[in-house]
Structure 1
């Protein structure tokens, strides 16, 4: 039924591409995605999802809401 490059997959392959952060939040018991433990360490060595992605998210949001020419998309 499922193939990759013409080769039958046994067992059938699956892929999670949406909602991984929500699943991780549930598993780790946190309410904020930016509080997710990103590297599995604690204390001074702990890296959170926010440490890795928050600045980029803020920059993308600022661009989209303050600078992007969204009127061009409605032509």
Structure 2
């Protein structure tokens, strides 16, 4: 598989961030965050190790205007 993440010096696109234990925000408790985009305009990441009730990945892709012909079986993993 080809690397499709454009990497620019000084930015974290395509990297994983691990939340530090001292972080006070409970939304990031023990979180692993994939940085989808990071540039001079800001950053966007997804917490990849927490389940968010009611979250639908397909709706997120639609809101971000991301079109894909890849079908993903999104089963709950426990």
TM over 0.5: no
After TM superposition, the score normalised by the length of structure 1 is 0.27
Higher helix share: 1
Higher strand share: 2
